[in-house]
Structure 1
Amino acid sequence: MSLSNVEKEQQCTLHWFQSWSPMQKADFMKDLLEKASPCNVDTLFDAMHSLNVRDRPPSIFQCQVKLFTQWFEEWSTKDRNEFMNQLQQIDPVFIQTFNEELARLSK
C-alpha cells in the first residue's frame, strides 16, 4: 500500500520533529499555536519579527518549518487532526503543553 502525499508530508515532518532541539520544538509549538489561534497578539508579534530581512540564509530548521506551513495549509481538518494524533504518540508532553497553552490563549 503506497502512502498519499499528505501521509508522506506528515511522516517527513514527524521525522524532523524527532531531531529538533528543545528550543526548536518550542518555536514549532509557537507556530502550531499561531495556526490554532491566529488572533493571538503575542504570536502575531512573533510572526512579524520573523519577517525581518536577514543577512544570512535561513537555517535548515526555518526551511523545514516553512515547508511544513505550506503543507499544513493544504491539509484537510482530518489530516491536521491525524498529524496531531501522531505527534501525540511521539511526544505526549509536547501535545499536553500545546493543549494547555491553547486553552490559556482561548480564555
Structure 2
Amino acid sequence: MNHSHLSPEVEFRYLITWFREFSEYERSDFMEILIQWLLKPNEIYMNGMTESSQKPTIFYCRMKLFKEWSLKWPDQLRSRLIDKLNELDSDFGQKLNENLEARLEQVDDVQSKEVESIQNGMTELTVEQAVAAEE
C-alpha cells in the first residue's frame, strides 16, 4: 500500500491507532521521538533505532513513517496530537509535559550561558579598548 497519498488527518489517525498498540517500552521510545519533534520538527533522531541487516521492527517502521509524515503536518495537528495522547494515557501525558519542561529548561540554561559568554567577551573587549586608548 502506498502511503504517500494519505492526508495528514489520516496519518494522524494511524499514529493514534499505533499508540494504543505500543508497549510501555515503545511508548517510552516514542516519547523521546515526540519531544524531539515538538522542539525541532525537522530534526528527529531515532536514538538507537537503526535499520540493520535484520528485518526492521514494526515500531521502527512506524516511527520512520511518523518522521516523514510529521514534516508536512499543520501546527494545529501537533496540538491535537498532544491532547489526544493525554486523553488516551494521562500518565504518558504527564511524563511528556515533565520531560518537555525539563528539556526546555536545559535549552534556556544553554542560551543564558551563551549570552553571558558573549556579554563577558564584550566587557573584556571594552576594557582592552579602554586600556589601548589610554596608551
TM-score band, normalised by shorter chain: 0.7 to 0.9
In angstroms, what is the RMSD of aligned CA positions? 2.1
- Per the alignment, residue 54 of structure 1 pairs with 52
Structure with bigger RCO (C-alpha 8 Å, 6+ apart): 1
| Deviation, structure 1 residue 99 | 0.6
- Number of equivalences: 97
Q: Give the AA of the match of 1:105.
A: R
Q: What is the TM-score with the length of structure 1 in the denominator?
A: 0.79
Corresponding position: 1:89 with 2:87? yes
Structure of higher CA gyration radius: 2
Provide the C-alpha distance between the structure 1 equivalents of 2:93 and 2:52, rounded to a whole number of angstroms: 31
Instruction: Give, in angstroms, the shift of residue 11 of structure 1.
Output: 1.1
Give the Cα–Cα distance (whole angstroms) in 2 for the partners of residues 79 and 34 of structure 1: 16
Alignment check: 8 A CA contact 2:15 2:66 kept: yes
Structure 1's unaligned 5+ residue stretches are: none
The percent identity for this pair of structures is: 27
Residue aligning to 2:8: 6
